[in-house]
Structure 1
């Protein structure tokens, strides 16, 4: 067990958490609450990867959909980011149908 893992386990136990995952989840939530720019970047990344919709990404970022669209434009990210091309969609559909 690494030193970091042991420390995380000790902090989780001392803090009354059920497990290390619960403690890390709370720590990440607090980090994102304190650093809105990181929260926005996370939402952009999730949107760009296709993990969330535009509306959900804006919600995660804590901004309006219009403000999120502006942020994407400011970062030079196409609104099609994260979506499949027609060819990719056809490939996925073909694989699914087999």
Structure 2
């Protein structure tokens, strides 16, 4: 019985499907994880220098986005200052919500 199991394991390890999968995935090529042939970032050196010297400082696309950012910043500071109170509020809101689901 042990010989039979060993034969089945060997056959399963050498199947065409396993070989095809190993050959087709980039993980089988360790260099593809480190290096890519596709360039990233800026390719124009003049534009890169201009951007470094004077970055584009555009206002937010809408006032609502700016307001949302300030709300999230305020929430982060409240959570950092009073983590236990935050947990209590979340539990108080989450418990009834969980009961209704």
Q: TM-score range by the shorter chain?
A: 0.3 to 0.5
Q: Quick check: which has more Rg, 1 or 2? A: 2
The alignment's TM-score, normalised by the length of structure 1, stands at 0.33
- Name the structure, 1 or 2, with higher relative contact order (CA <8 Å, separation 6+): 1
